[in-house]
Chains A and B, each alone.
Chain A
Amino acid sequence: MDFQESEFFIFKMKEALETIIIDVRDTAPGLENRAAFEAYKATIQGPNGSLTAVMKSMGKLLREEKPAMGKLINEAKAEINEALSQALATIEAAELTAKLGSAIDPSLPSVEGDRGTLHPIAQVREEMVALFQRIGFSVAEATEVETEYFCFDALNIPKDHPARDMQDSYYLPNELKMQNVPKHKEEQYLLRTHSSTVQIRTMLQKNPPIRIIAPGRCFRRDTPDATHSANFHQIEGLYVDQDVSLTDLKATLDYFVKTIFGPKAKTRLRPSFFPFTEPSFEMDFFSPDLGKLSNKWLEIMGCGMVDPEVFKAVGIDPQAYTGFAFGMGIERIAMILQGVDDIRYYYQNDLRFLKQFA
């Protein structure tokens, strides 16, 4: 090849490269899918491709012209690759979109369902237990089926005592045996009428110091109405140690009331009578922030110093130890806190009711 021929050849090669670049720039963005892309790419870079042809013709060039032409080809290649890979990215993006399906509508609700809810009574129970746990009470439990001894006698409520009238009990048949509720002697089984049974079971198992909080289900033979249901829940507290005083009781109950009803709540202890405490009190509280129930004394619990007779029943020396105990209805507290005026709502479990306390 002479110089002139060579000049012409180089000119032709350059022209071919430019044509390819222009073609790729024009065509690549319009390629709609991977197959079209691959087919087109083969027309450029495949064995019979136009770029491949240009590169093959390099061999015909004079040696001194090869570097400059090589550079040109590489630049053109880069430009072509860039255009092709952009086209490929677009195709891949379109493919992905197609694969992912149509766009979401963020305004539609999830059908996974709402987060579950703890029952409103459970919420109050757990809040109460937790606040007593913070001042060193640990949780105790006992059975719902109990015997007369643990429900009454050991709590200083003898058989012919008028105090047994204060709560009518559900009894279980005489002949029944409970495999996992030990009896004291041959007394009858019943459904516990109060959570105070846990005091007895705990004191029989452990030596002082004892500081327990015992939430549990109780039963009374009451006709159901807005404030009574066949079963309800109580929470019982007991603290026995050397030198537990009445002042300690008041401090504990004040802490409870202010924590659960707010710092503006006030308490008062009204002397009362329970066979298992002496002195005994009803505790009332008073709060300015309770809606309809604001600014009146509301009775919420019975409490007092553990009666020496109870200590004797469980084998604790009343000379060496003193203690206080308190018990209250969880539904009562829940109704006050949640503004519920009929206890039966709690046992219906209408989801619309339950969700109000989510």
Chain B
Amino acid sequence: MKISYNWLKQYLDLDPTEHSAEVLAEVLPLLGFDIETLEHNGPPALEKVVVGEVIEYEQHPNADRLRCCKVSTGGVGEPHKIVCGAKNFEAGDRVMVALPGAVLPGDFKIKKSKLRGEPSEGMLCSAKELNLGQDHEGILILNKEQALGTPLNEIFHEVDTILDLEITPNRVDVLSHIGLAREVAARFNLNVNYPEVKASTTNPSSGAVLLESVELQAGNVCPHYTAFCIRGVKVGPSPEWLVKQLESVGLRSVNNVVDVTNFVLHETGQPMHAFDAAKIKGKKLLVRKAGVGEVMTTLDGVERKLSIDDLVVADSERPLALAGVMGGVDAEVGVETVDVVLETAYFNPSTIRASSRRIGLVSDSSYRFERGIDAQGLLYASLRAVDLILECAGGSLDGDRLVAGSEPLTQKAIQLCPDEVRRFIGFKISNESMCQILTSLNLDVCERTESDGSLNWEVKIPSYRGDLEREVDLIEEVVRLYGTDRIPETEVHARGIEAQDHRAYTISQEVAAYMTGQNFHEAFLYSLRDPQETQVLFGEKALEHLKLANPLQSDQSHLRSCLLPGLIDVLQLNTARGTGAMRFFERGRIFKPSESGMMELLAFGFVLTGASLERAWKDHKAVDFYTAKSLCENIASLAGFPVAKLVFEPQETSPLWQGGQSATSGELMRQGVSCTAGLLNVVTLRDRWSLEYPIIAGIVEINPETFQRGVKRARHSAISNQPASIRDIALVVDQFVLAGRVQSDLVKFAKKAVSGFTCEAITCFDIYEGDGLPEGKKSLALSFSFRAMDRTLKDKEINAAFQAIQEQIESQTDYQIRK
């Protein structure tokens, strides 16, 4: 909201230094009114900028667009030779001349110089260059009475500062000059000088009434509607002061009547509307809900289809205004207008807000109505407007103020206990100071001693402070005016609170430490992805489940269901830029369709490439599925999932993964974790990302519900000091039998075969296919490690166990033991 310092001065005796615009710009943010911009209108104090006369000029010999002028400023060294680019002047014109040494706004220093070979000893100024307006088309031409050599600041002494304030939605009362004046007055202990009003609510009527009545047909959405009739106005241009004031806050002058309504809105915060009385049919104004299919054209020339929830002000035939938002063209006040009906009303905030949002039109009126205007401010504002209309456009009040409904009740009092305030703010502030602050805000403090001897205040709230409803709201006022800079600086006192850090956070941190230790760089990627990508990589179900209801950009319309596409983007970008990057990971939330809707999951993902993207003097370590598997297992283990329970199974080729070179393990619902690791689909990488090199990737996805299960603290169990005994075996099995399956069979057999000691590990240490083996077969070499807690095992007992294992292999499997 724009506030003109000069305008503000009309209501406050502001000291030019103590309360200068600059001081206000420092103080207001600390009162809660942030300054977005501060602009000066009018020239700052400028030296060596004086009135001069163009004696003569001629075309610049070397530049078509320049003129060489001889300019007199009535002083020594005359005349000045000045080169000028403007063409809007003639010899004999008086103009503003900036002489060498002058510094124009924007730190523009004027020096003697040469322009295209011609000397120039100054500059002829445009209005904009002197901060006198926006005109930059030509130089500023003065009237001929201005004496040569008169300094600029003697001619243009009226300056103004415009503050653009950011007013929070709770402070509708400050959306006006008087409203801000009240705050400044409270801060500096000043009085607000409210303009006196002369008009009266009761007036004689001259003959035929202009408007018989105003009627409310929409119940509580407009509790109070009032109107004045003014007869015989002469609609025309506004007086200069009014035009200037409106322009200073960025408004355009329309005509004297409309300008007054706008002026009063920015003065008092009360929106109002003027109708051309002649255009009101049936001599009646109705406030009603719009009818089905009703249409009206608002003052901005747009035809609006109304909804039955919109509130309109109508005559007997048609809506004349979209209540509280904007008037209609049908009763617009124009040059032909003679009689005026001036509306001042209170509309229900949420109704106005809904209309304004629905049609996408925020006006100065709707902005204030939807925040809740001062319900008791109608009369003063309308009388003030009447005064100004009569002053600016002539005419006279005709008949009494027309009223429908009544002021909504706004009388409020809040209990405030000074001790409670001090407890809440945590520092001492005297009752007197508090009381003084509240009083300065026009809050009425009545002291009361309770039966238990404690002191309590009853604080009466003025009608315009709808935001003050509770004790804590008053505490805010006390702190605001007391000054937040006076809150004492203290140390942090932290008493212990029994609580654990959320495991999603601690696990993420541990995984990140692990991954960076494995030379992975962490990437941060967007959670919103492209629909086409979603469909191609994750299918129709994902496309349907992951979509946003109201995306902003078409390529960010779907939630991500996997971290990998983003990570591949990163590889692609780094490849294109030749950064030599090889390993990236991300930790973040992903979203997956599940049996009953969708789930949010915690996910870790990584990508790595085998060959460096740049040539190196030595080969890089080869990477493959097993690299990714190990990373996945370690991540899962850091997240609290035992690796033993993660059984990787091969998977078919999918749009994302390469079959035969990738595998999955785990299960989200039951186990709480799932992993996929291996080679990304080579064709997809080539077609979607133009990446021609193999990429190994892994994802670990965790159902956050598992974090609600408690974490078991690890317990020690005794380890054996005895040596282990090793036995090896080679088995010939079908090519497609997984080593893991063979291993788990052997574990089962070993459990049965061993007693009194343990088979603590069975590891596969060699795989062989080829010569000496039948087609379609492979040989697995496995090693058994036996150990007892209390003794060195004897060959005899080991051999017996090993024999028992072999017998089981022979009888229960089709694995052939290679002898």
The smallest C-beta distance from B270 to any residue of chain A, in angstroms, reads: 19
Docked CA distance A131–B570 (Å): 31
- Asked if A264 is at the interface of the complex by the 8 Å CB criterion, the answer is no
Docked CA distance A135–B496 (Å): 9
Q: Would A111 and B620 be within 8 Å (CB), given that A136-B496, A349-B524 are in contact?
A: yes
B491 touches A251 (CB 8 A): yes
Q: Mark A209-252, 1 if CB is under 8 A from B, else 0.
A: 11110010101011100000111000000000101011110111
A115 touches B524 (CB 8 A): no
Q: Would A178 and B499 be within 8 Å (CB), given that A117-B522, A279-B472 are in contact?
A: no
B548 touches A170 (CB 8 A): yes
Docked CA distance A218–B479 (Å): 31
B490 touches A250 (CB 8 A): yes
Q: Which residues of A contact B34 (CB under 8 A)?
A: 270, 272, 282
Q: Mark B485-523, 1 if CB is under 8 A from A, else 0.
A: 101111111111101111011100100100111111111
A351 touches B517 (CB 8 A): no
- Asked if B556 is at the interface of the complex by the 8 Å CB criterion, the answer is yes
- Asked if A138 is at the interface of the complex by the 8 Å CB criterion, the answer is yes
Q: Pick the contact of B472: A212, A273, A307 (CB < 8 A).
A: A307
Q: Pick the contact of B425: A121, A178, A247 (CB < 8 A).
A: A247
Q: Which residues of B contact A351 (CB under 8 A)?
A: 521, 574, 579-581
- Asked if A340 is at the interface of the complex by the 8 Å CB criterion, the answer is no
Q: Mark B684-703, 1 if CB is under 8 A from A, else 0.
A: 00000000000000000001
Q: Which residues of A contact B491 (CB under 8 A)?
A: 251, 255
B547 touches A173 (CB 8 A): yes
Q: Which residues of A contact B583 (CB under 8 A)?
A: 113, 116
- Asked if A59 is at the interface of the complex by the 8 Å CB criterion, the answer is no
A136 touches B497 (CB 8 A): yes
Q: Which residues of B contact A176 (CB under 8 A)?
A: 545, 597-598
Q: Pick the contact of A230: B556, B595, B704 (CB < 8 A).
A: B556
A181 touches B584 (CB 8 A): no
Q: Which residues of B contact A245 (CB under 8 A)?
A: 423-427
Docked CA distance A347–B525 (Å): 5
Q: Which residues of A contact B63 (CB under 8 A)?
A: none
- Asked if A174 is at the interface of the complex by the 8 Å CB criterion, the answer is yes
Q: Would A162 and B492 be within 8 Å (CB), given that A273-B171, A278-B476, A347-B524 are in contact?
A: no
Q: Which residues of B contact A111 (CB under 8 A)?
A: 612, 616-620
In the complex, what residue of chain B is closest to A348 when comparing beta carbons?
Answer: B573
B501 touches A349 (CB 8 A): no
- Asked if B719 is at the interface of the complex by the 8 Å CB criterion, the answer is no
Q: Which residues of A contact B497 (CB under 8 A)?
A: 136, 138, 209-211
- Asked if B721 is at the interface of the complex by the 8 Å CB criterion, the answer is no
- Asked if B550 is at the interface of the complex by the 8 Å CB criterion, the answer is yes
The smallest C-beta distance from A105 to any residue of chain B, in angstroms, reads: 9
- Asked if A27 is at the interface of the complex by the 8 Å CB criterion, the answer is no
The smallest C-beta distance from B453 to any residue of chain A, in angstroms, reads: 20
> Interface stretch among A1-9, A92-100, A139-147?
A139-147
- Asked if A177 is at the interface of the complex by the 8 Å CB criterion, the answer is yes
Q: Would A271 and B480 be within 8 Å (CB), given that A116-B519, A118-B516 are in contact?
A: yes
- Asked if A322 is at the interface of the complex by the 8 Å CB criterion, the answer is yes
Q: Would A349 and B516 be within 8 Å (CB), given that A111-B618, A139-B506, A180-B599 are in contact?
A: no
Q: Pick the contact of A268: B476, B485, B496, B580 (CB < 8 A).
A: B485
The smallest C-beta distance from B359 to any residue of chain A, in angstroms, reads: 15
Indicate the size class of the contact surface on chain A.
Answer: 35 or more
In the complex, what residue of chain B is closest to A355 when comparing beta carbons?
Answer: B521
- Asked if B594 is at the interface of the complex by the 8 Å CB criterion, the answer is yes
B169 touches A163 (CB 8 A): yes
> Interface stretch among B25-33, B69-77, B643-651?
B25-33
In the complex, what residue of chain A is closest to B169 when comparing beta carbons?
Answer: A162
Docked CA distance A230–B551 (Å): 10
Which residues 528-562 of B have a CB within 8 angstroms of A?
528, 545, 547-553, 556, 559
Docked CA distance A152–B584 (Å): 36
B600 touches A145 (CB 8 A): yes
Docked CA distance A280–B171 (Å): 13
A281 touches B484 (CB 8 A): yes
- Asked if B577 is at the interface of the complex by the 8 Å CB criterion, the answer is yes
A349 touches B548 (CB 8 A): no
A255 touches B492 (CB 8 A): yes
- Asked if A346 is at the interface of the complex by the 8 Å CB criterion, the answer is yes
Q: Mark A169-186, 1 if CB is under 8 A from B, else 0.
A: 011111011111100000
B616 touches A349 (CB 8 A): no
B426 touches A246 (CB 8 A): yes
Indicate the size class of the contact surface on chain B.
Answer: 35 or more
Q: Pick the contact of B527: A112, A144, A166, A210 (CB < 8 A).
A: A144
Docked CA distance A322–B423 (Å): 10
Which residues 165-206 of A have a CB within 8 angstroms of B?
165-166, 170-174, 176-181, 188, 191, 206
B472 touches A141 (CB 8 A): no
- Asked if B705 is at the interface of the complex by the 8 Å CB criterion, the answer is yes
- Asked if B353 is at the interface of the complex by the 8 Å CB criterion, the answer is yes
In the complex, what residue of chain A is closest to B29 when comparing beta carbons?
Answer: A270
- Asked if A269 is at the interface of the complex by the 8 Å CB criterion, the answer is yes
Determine which residue in B427, B476, B574 has the highest number of CB atoms from chain A within 10 A of its CB, and name it.
B476
A229 touches B526 (CB 8 A): yes
Q: Which residues of B contact A337 (CB under 8 A)?
A: none
The smallest C-beta distance from A179 to any residue of chain B, in angstroms, reads: 5
Q: Which residues of A contact B485 (CB under 8 A)?
A: 268
Q: Which residues of B contact A119 (CB under 8 A)?
A: 521-524
Docked CA distance A215–B573 (Å): 28
Docked CA distance A282–B703 (Å): 37
In the complex, what residue of chain B is closest to A162 when comparing beta carbons?
Answer: B169
The smallest C-beta distance from B358 to any residue of chain A, in angstroms, reads: 12
Q: Pick the contact of B598: A117, A178, A307 (CB < 8 A).
A: A178
- Asked if A350 is at the interface of the complex by the 8 Å CB criterion, the answer is yes
Q: Would A116 and B516 be within 8 Å (CB), given that A180-B704, A211-B494, A245-B424 are in contact?
A: yes
Q: Pick the contact of B512: A122, A173, A246 (CB < 8 A).
A: A122
A117 touches B484 (CB 8 A): no
Q: Which residues of A contact B487 (CB under 8 A)?
A: 246-247, 250, 269
- Asked if B214 is at the interface of the complex by the 8 Å CB criterion, the answer is no
The smallest C-beta distance from A227 to any residue of chain B, in angstroms, reads: 15
Q: Which residues of B contact A16 (CB under 8 A)?
A: none
- Asked if A254 is at the interface of the complex by the 8 Å CB criterion, the answer is yes
Q: Would A349 and B525 be within 8 Å (CB), given that A111-B618, A270-B484, A271-B32 are in contact?
A: yes
- Asked if B13 is at the interface of the complex by the 8 Å CB criterion, the answer is no
- Asked if A133 is at the interface of the complex by the 8 Å CB criterion, the answer is yes
Q: Pick the contact of B484: A171, A268, A347 (CB < 8 A).
A: A268
Docked CA distance A145–B592 (Å): 12
- Asked if B596 is at the interface of the complex by the 8 Å CB criterion, the answer is yes
The smallest C-beta distance from A286 to any residue of chain B, in angstroms, reads: 12
- Asked if B591 is at the interface of the complex by the 8 Å CB criterion, the answer is yes
A347 touches B526 (CB 8 A): yes
Q: Mark B405-449, 1 if CB is under 8 A from A, else 0.
A: 000000000000000000111110000000000000000000000
- Asked if A114 is at the interface of the complex by the 8 Å CB criterion, the answer is yes
**9 closest Cβ pairs, A-B complex:** A245-B426, A177-B597, A247-B426, A273-B168, A271-B32, A136-B494, A279-B476, A116-B516, A139-B501
29 A-B pairs with C-beta separation under 8 A: A114-B519, A119-B521, A122-B512, A140-B502, A160-B350, A161-B169, A162-B353, A163-B169, A166-B169, A172-B548, A180-B703, A181-B600, A206-B499, A210-B499, A211-B494, A217-B527, A231-B527, A231-B528, A247-B425, A247-B487, A247-B488, A250-B489, A250-B490, A273-B168, A278-B473, A279-B480, A349-B570, A350-B573, A350-B577
What 16 new A-B contacts, CB under 8 Å, besides A254-B489, A349-B524? A118-B516, A119-B521, A136-B496, A138-B501, A179-B599, A180-B704, A246-B425, A247-B425, A247-B426, A247-B427, A247-B488, A247-B490, A279-B475, A279-B479, A308-B472, A354-B522
Residues of chain B whose beta carbon lies under 8 Å from any beta carbon of chain A: 29-32, 34, 168-171, 349-350, 353-354, 370-371, 423-427, 470, 472-473, 475-476, 479-480, 484-485, 487-497, 499-502, 504-506, 509, 512, 515-528, 545, 547-553, 556, 559, 570, 573-574, 577, 579-585, 588-589, 591, 594-600, 612, 616-621, 703-705
